[in-house]
Structure 1
């Protein structure tokens, strides 16, 4: 009954998305001096959720499903279009990456807060504190 609560799945997918974004931001920082390296990021989570809801095609609910797109699966990084390139072709800004890291931390904290609040509601409904 409580295995497939949508709010828990959504908060888990949001935390997974934040983790994937953090890995990409760390890679950007690691290549801050690499000539020709372009800044990358993920599509914002709300846009991914809207795309998921807008596509009425097949949707995988288990890994064994073949043709559906599983929510919270692998994320594909995209080039940051707002980044300005240096003369050597590198478009990574340390300040932008630091701000992105703060945004990612907020996203992850929000996902954990939603998860905790959902668990507290479930515990209260069961009479447990």
Structure 2
């Protein structure tokens, strides 16, 4: 008996969940957008240090790579990657604020473009999936 795959479990021959990857990308973009919005909102806050999250490629590499097991107490533990905000050091204003508004707005625009691209790619994939199943409404 053949089992139909839902679009949420579509996988390549190597076992990579493509839609799961797209979902992680969108979550990363949403987290980055939140962090960047916080930077813009605090552009006039004395002593505020701009933040950003690790690039998605780095997050992807840590999630897709194999981690070593710590079999002895003296062994170093594996490294875990994530999308946590970290401070970005740069030139600061006399009040100690390190937010460069122009740079932050460029990052926001870039993140917005990436979200639009990811959404369009997902929509295109889902349209092709519907056509392949014969459920495109025709």
After TM superposition, the score normalised by the length of structure 2 is 0.73
The answer to whether 1:78 aligns with 2:86 is yes
Aligned match for 2:49, one of 34, 38, 47: 38
Q: Give unmatched runs, 5+ long, in structure 1.
A: 59-68
Q: Give unmatched runs, 5+ long, in structure 2.
A: 11-16, 70-79
**RMSD value over aligned CA atoms?**
2.1
Equivalent position of 2:77 in the other structure: none
Aligned 8 A contact 1:37 1:91 in 2:
yes
Equivalent position of 1:52 in the other structure: 63
Structure label with greater radius of gyration: 2
Q: How many residues align?
A: 115
**In 2: Cα distance, 1:127 partner to 1:103 partner:** 36
Aligned 8 A contact 1:12 1:111 in 2:
no
Aligned match for 1:108, one of 95, 115, 120: 115
